[in-house]
Amino acid sequence: MKAIMKKIFFIAGLFILLAGCQDFLEREPVLQQTSELTLSTFDGLDKATLGAYTLLYGVDWYGGYFVLSSDMRGGNGKLKPNNAGYQFDAYTWNYTPENTEQLWTSAYTAIARANNVINAIPNFEGSAEEKEMLQYFKAECLFIRAIAHFDLVRLYAQPYGHNKTGLGVPVVTETVIAEPARDPIEEVYSQVVQDLKEAESLFGDYKRSGGADPKGFATKEAAQALLARVYLYMEDWQNAANYATSVINSGKFTMWSAAQYVPVSENPNGAWGREAEGSEVIFAVYGALGNSGFPGQEGIAYMTNPAFHGDACASNDLLNLYEEGDVRHDLFYSDPDGRAVLEGFFWTNKYPSKTGDGSTNNTPVLRLSEMYLIRAEAIHKGASISGVTSLSDYNMIRTNRGLAPRTGSIVLSDISDERRRELCFEGHVAFDLARRKENLVRNDYVALVNQNINFPDNKWALPIPKSEFNGNENMVQNPF
């Protein structure tokens, strides 16, 4: 790949990278210094690494639209009757270059921040102990760069299994002024895998401490879990199963029991939004009011709560998938104020916020249950893990959600439905449909256009924001 293909112009990368270090991980004073000075000291590189996490919690990424738009597009969500319009475009697939998901800017800014740390480390002059610690900072930044590229290529390109030689997104490993073209999808995935494997090798048992949320930092297991997901999208079934197994066998996470999987409104010590160490969450994105990345009234906690905007309701298509006795159904709730216009509408309580008022919350990005589902699908597709079957992993989910185990055999649609029940409103369903090359079919639909979307279709790759074309003659738009 030509060097210029790995470079892009980021205005944010030329500003002070740490404006916003008073963010979702640690409350530190904003640095008033140049990027060059910041990246030449151990303390500066430490804070720059923290600053690279900030964009993840923004309104266009895990703090809001990137997660919810997948469920609104993919049939898990629907609009409430008196909606404020925030989720309308995603729900109706009403996308144009002027009106599309804005992940592009957030993700490439995160990539710029991560790149600056990664590329500054080789030139660092300090003690041997400091240099050893910098390898952990590099691992964190490699993870951030990988998840950013992965989310970008999922949103703005067709799925890997459909046409891996098609247009992906620019692979960016340096932050300089350039006009990058779009790299092939398979090259984007190759970079993601390369970054995650290097991060895995560097992490060891290191885990950053001292933050507001211990699940808000990348670890070796987070890199392995993301690798399992990436390989699933690449249809590399054996590697997907292998990496899912590595996380499962790490012993650092356990499935929530049916008794633990409860709404926080009924149990303030419940799992969602409150968990600290152990149990199912492998990696989460945390934020709070006052942070530089706080998504405000358009964040997940507000969009899934009828006391606020509450634009993202659960569809009956999703709710009807739950069997009697499934505790996951109890995580949905109706309007507590009993407003007639909202009768019959339900919301997920996966985002109650740590304080219950939307001002502090977290978004689970990687969970143990997903690893079992990845492995179940991979084995069903031909992977082999000693002592494990697709059915046993499938039943691991069911028995921890209050249901009896299945007997006999299962088919792919069983696993797909289980993913939908388990991972709903965590940003998976539209991407799952695309990677499986399945049509979107929505029965419970409250709009007038784009109720169903066939696959293949140009719509599965969203338009790149028009602003990206200003000054970049090498950029090519998706057909829409």
CA 433 – CA 42 distance, rounded (Å): 44
Question: Which of these, 62, 70, 63, 61, lies nearest to 428 by C-alpha position?
Answer: 70
Q: What is the CA radius of gyration of the chain?
A: 21
Residue numbers of the chain with a pLDDT score lower than 50: 1-34
Q: What is the pTM of this model?
A: 0.93
Residue 78: strand pairing partners: 313
State which H helix or E strand residue 391 sits in: helix 390-399
- Residue 80: φ, ψ to 5°: -80, 160
- pLDDT in the model for residue 50: 93
CA 50 – CA 163 distance, rounded (Å): 36
Residue 362: strand pairing partners: 286
Q: Which residues make Cβ contacts (< 8 Å) with residue 341, sequence separation at least 6? A: 81, 82
The token duo for 240 is 């997907």
Q: Residues 223-246, buried b or exposed e (16+ Cβ, 10 A)?
A: bbbbbbbbbbbbebbebbbbbbbb
Residue 363: strand pairing partners: 285
Strand bridging mode 360-367 / 312-314: unpaired
3-state SS class at 93: coil
In the 8-state DSSP scheme, what is residue 96? Answer: B
CA 158 vs CA 95, 152, 189, 271: distances in Å: 15, 11, 12, 35
Q: Residues 356-382, buried b or exposed e (16+ Cβ, 10 A)?
A: bebbbbbbbbbbbbbbbbbbbbbbbbe
Q: Which residues make Cβ contacts (< 8 Å) with residue 351, sequence separation at least 6? A: 272, 273, 300, 301, 304, 305, 361, 363, 425
CA 470 – CA 350 distance, rounded (Å): 39
Give yes or no for a contact between 470 and 453, defined as CB atoms under 8 angstroms apart.
Answer: no
Structural domains present in the chain = 1-60+102-206 (1.25.40.390), 207-458 (1.25.40.390)
